[in-house]
Amino acid sequence: MLSYHEQLQAHALYDLTTRAKSGILTYACVWLILAFSYQVNIHHPNFFYLNTGIIFGIFVSRTFHFILLKQNTGARIVFMNQWLVLTILAAAAHWGGMTAWILFDDNFTDLRTIMLIITPAFALGGACTLSISSQIRTLYPTLMFLPFIGILLYQGDTQSLSLAALTSISLIYIYSSTKATHDDYWAAVTNHMIAEERAQLMEKLSTTDPLTQLKNRMYFDKEFTKEWQRCSRLQCPLSLIMIDLDYFKNINDNYGHVFGDECLRVIASTISSIVARPTDCIARYGGEEFVVLLPNTDTEATKMLALRIVDTVANLTLDNNEEIISITCSIGGASIIPEFNERQDSLIKAADTAMYEAKDSGRNCYREGTLTF
């Protein structure tokens, strides 16, 4: 089970990966279009192959990261996040450095104008889209802008200094705008997760008996209907046992309701430890009465489970101010292979009738019910 912080990290990682997905191809496509349009591959082959190799390496790393994260939901969150951030920042640093070199080298005069348009667009778009990460929102535009701002300052002419000043202002604007989107994203994610947790808690509270922490009657009724329909489709047995504590009113009268409540908690825990399958449903049916729903369980298996509960409860010793108190239970059970046209309450009635037969037979025993339609 992930902690709250890990859930936030995982959510952000998947969102960041999804948002960064378009960038996997963007750098490669734009660079190849520019290179072939301006014949960089012919006139400057070394420059072309060096940058193409770097972009291709980043492309492979990003693609592999995307595939691995998509296929392996249990991947290490911190490692995968660091991997993604580093490759994105590497792409920004490379593009910023390449732009600076094009501005510096007189052999690329025809590329300067278009690079001065594309690079700020990349910086602004990437920083805003990927502002989920505080590292990316600040370092991405910085790595894009600073190299060629430095070159513009180095060149020192009026036009270069003006471009450097305007670019610096743009960088400050990107910082402020991405901070707002970063804060909005994390506020929305946090509020969403809090709302989900509260909804889950409310759902749990609405279906849980507060005293015993077993499921309550409302939950059992829904689960019973669902399992009846499922077993009807699959034509598999569905069993039910009703458990009632013997002479429980005497315990409340003689030892008080506080001790009586403790007895109910102990019995509930005991039944839960015996009925171990995740598909089974244990619920407090009312007062000192419990019900266990057993999908895909035949008559013989139901009987064995019920007898085990009878014996285990009878062997419990409850301490009340150093006075040892014993308690027993009576159990009735019934099994059926449900049909859609049969009444669901027939199984409940059969188990309930069998439970009263167990009480009439001296209590502390199990009786099997017969269904009538």
User: Which CATH number does the domain housing residue 223 bear?
Assistant: 3.30.70.270
145 and 18 share a domain? Answer: yes
> Averaged over 159-183, what is the pLDDT?
91
Identify the sign of the CA torsion 269, 274, 279, 285.
Answer: negative
At what angle are helices 4-20 and 158-207 packed, to 10 degrees?
A: 130
302 and 339 share a domain? Answer: yes
186 and 321 share a domain? Answer: no
- Are the beta carbons of 354 and 332 closer than 8 angstroms? yes
194 and 70 share a domain? Answer: yes
> Averaged over 186-203, what is the pLDDT?
76
Annotation marks residue 288 as catalytic: yes
Q: Out of 144, 169, 200, pick the residue that ends a domain.
A: 200
List the catalytic residue out of 6, 196, 227, 288: 288
48 and 154 share a domain? Answer: yes
Span of 93-102, 190-199, 296-305, 358-367 with lowest mean pLDDT: 190-199
Burial 56-95 (b: 16+ CB within 10 A, else e): eebbebbeebbeebeeeeebebeebbebbbebbbbbbbbb
Helix (H) or strand (E) holding 336, with range, is: strand 329-336
Residue 206 lies in a domain: no
Residue 293 domain boundaries: 217-368
Q: Please tell me the predicted confidence (pLDDT) of residue 339.
A: 86
Pick from 224, 275, 270: nearest CA to 245: 270
Round to whole Å and give the CA distance between 245 and 266: 12
- Per-position DSSP letters for 10-23, written without gaps between them: HHHHHHHHHHHTTH
Q: Out of 152, 175, 200, pick the residue that ends a domain.
A: 200
- Are the beta carbons of 335 and 238 closer than 8 angstroms? yes
- Are the beta carbons of 368 and 334 closer than 8 angstroms? yes
189 and 245 share a domain? Answer: no
Span of 37-51, 176-190, 248-262 with lowest mean pLDDT: 176-190
Residue 142 lies in a domain: yes
pLDDT tops 90 at residue 93: yes
Q: Please tell me the predicted confidence (pLDDT) of residue 189.
A: 80
Q: Please tell me the predicted confidence (pLDDT) of residue 216.
A: 93
> Averaged over 81-87, what is the pLDDT?
92
pLDDT in tens, 345-366: 899 999 999 999 999 999 999 9
- Could you tell me the pLDDT band of residue 136, with boundaries at 50, 70 and 90? very high
Say which amino acid occupies 92: A
Q: Please tell me the predicted confidence (pLDDT) of residue 307.
A: 96
Q: What percent of the chain has pLDDT over 90?
A: 67
> Averaged over 283-306, what is the pLDDT?
95
Q: Please tell me the predicted confidence (pLDDT) of residue 205.
A: 67
Round to whole Å and give the CA distance between 291 and 307: 15
pLDDT tops 70 at residue 244: yes
> Averaged over 301-318, what is the pLDDT?
95
Say which amino acid occupies 157: D
- Could you tell me the pLDDT band of residue 5, with boundaries at 50, 70 and 90? low
252 and 176 share a domain? Answer: no
